[in-house]
Every structure is written in C-alpha cells, then in structure tokens.
Structure 1
C-alpha cells in the first residue's frame, strides 16, 4: 500500500494545545508543592521549630515580597512640584451676537448590541488525556482528589460500545498518564457515578468491572 501524506496539523492549534498542557502542568506542580509543604516534606533549616514546618516557606515568600515592595517604594522618584504660571494679561471682552437656534433632530432608534458569546471553558487537566487515542466525546471530565492522591475520569455511555480489549488498552494508557502526573490511584466512573474500573491495590494494572451500560 503506498505511503499516504500525513494530514496537515495547524502549528497554532498545536501551540494552543501545548500552552494548555503547560498551564495544567504548572497548576499540578503548584498543588504538589503546596501539598508537600503542608506535609513538611520540603527542605527546612534545622533551627526552624517542627510544629511550624508548614509556615517556613510562606514566611520566606512574604519576606521576599515585602522586600521587593520596600525597594520599589525607595526607588520611586520624588514627586515634582507643579510650577504655577504667571497670570495672563487681561483681555478686552467683546459681546458677540447670539447664535441661531439649532433645529432639533429627530430621535434615532438605538439598535442594541448583540450579547457576546459565553466564554469557552477549558479543562487543562482533561486536555492532557485528549491526545486522540480515545474516541471523541468519550472522556467527559477529569476530577483530581488531592486528599487521597487520586484522579477520577468520568466516561460517556459510548464506553460500553467498545470491545473489551480496547477498554483494557485505554484504561492502562490512562493509568500510565495518571502516574506521570503524580497521582497514586485512578478511578473510572460513569456519568451516574457508577464505578467502572480502578487501579489494582495489589500489584499493578487496572481492574475493570463487567458492569452493564446504564439504561
């Protein structure tokens, strides 16, 4: 079979996808740093009290911001006093004839401007899983659970139309992506919160439940 040319992909579309992925990754890194700071997992000097470990880096950040604000205030130039100009010489006032009255214009109907369209909602975390490997509109939402270090993917009813081997393939690929993002567990849920699959608690891999599609 002859090699067909690759389909054209707009570089602007790829740039937007990469930008959304970068924004999502920064958000995940920030939440991870916040969680590690709350658990006292970050590097802390030995002189700092153990019961105040989560407050060390916020205190350092506050001191740095205060220093930057103080430096900005000190480097501001002094205010320039306004120079009062000398009063102009008196000018003789000559009376002018009254202008002719302006005829009244007929009222013009005002056409209201159309309302702007609602803003486009983008889920940066869900965008990381929309790489083209899964059928379109299969993934509905990606919900992180930072307390349990868990990620939940909500799937559409079209999940049940896929062959069993294809479902296992997608579930294992999503689990690998979930581990790359720093989550320890992955759960697959239907639209009505029915549990479809989860990470194996002993060993590795995904466990898929042979549930029937919701009516």
Structure 2
C-alpha cells in the first residue's frame, strides 16, 4: 500500500467515527468561517462541490453564496473521471449521481467553465503545513488543477477540513498542486503566495 493510500485509509477511518451531530456542528462553523474569507467575499464565480457523508459540509455555504448573488459552479463527474460543470440553482436542483455524489441538473457548461472561477473550493482529506492537499485518489481534481495551470488561471484554491485533518506531511507527487488556504473549525490557515512555483519534493 502506498503512503498516500495508507494515509487516506487512516483519515477515512477517522471520519467514519464522526457522529451526525459532529458533522452538522462542523458544517455550521465552516460555512460561517468560509463565507467570511476575503477571497469568497470578493468572488463573482466560485467553483465548489456538494459535500456528502461525513465530508466537511458545504450545503449551507453554497446557499449563502447563491443568496449573495455569487455564481456557483458545481462539478458533474464524467465517464473518464474528468469534471464538467453546471450552475447551482438551489438544493431542489441537485440529484443523485454515481459514487454517492449529488450533482446539479442544469445545463452542462463544459470542463473549461472552471476557468471562470475566482475561487475553487477543493474537496480533500488532508492538507499539510506546505499547503499540499491529499484528495481521494480519483484524479478528477488533478485534471482541474492542471487545466487551470495550463490556461494561466490562478483562482484562490481553498480546502475545508475537520480540525485533525491538517497534518504534518502529505505524501507528494510531481503533479500535485499546493492550495492557498485551509479552513477548519479552529480557524483559517494560509500558505505563502507563489506556492505553485515552489520546488516539488520527489
């Protein structure tokens, strides 16, 4: 088992111990904290995602952003694991999709739609002190980040996590991108500007 796979297994096991009340409480705190981020306050378009299960909750944040007039893009998983996007039109326009996900039912805008985002909220299992993110391993958001880099687009990259998911070190591969900030119930941690250009660790 790779170091990434072992860490994913450990973190998912910890999430499995969370109660519904834990999840609700964390979601409320995260929504308020994330909504106060200057990057989100100034954003016209935000690429986000719909949390499921014991992921740090995004539902209240999605509603708050939409109520403020922010254009919120939500991912639609394609057959090749890449992501298409559609505009969030409210919880009543979310439906079940593969892998237990919820997806918007609106017009598909194409994978390039993420290039319009001022902020991208990335799902994750952990972030370390360098801003390196550990995802679930499907590769969908690796493609999103590569697409942004190829286009020269630099939206703020933000991850929402539970407190104990900010770890000492995330195993890193050459294609991995550091994020700009992580928001947990304990507060927001930012990482140095220009992190996308700092040397990678092999």
Higher percent of residues as strand: 2
Instruction: Say yes or no: TM over 0.5.
Output: no
Q: Max radius of gyration: which structure?
A: 1
> Relative contact order: is structure 1 or structure 2 higher (C-alpha 8 Å, sep ≥ 6)?
2
Q: TM-score range by the shorter chain?
A: under 0.3
**TM-score by structure 2 length?**
0.23
**TM-score by structure 1 length?**
0.22
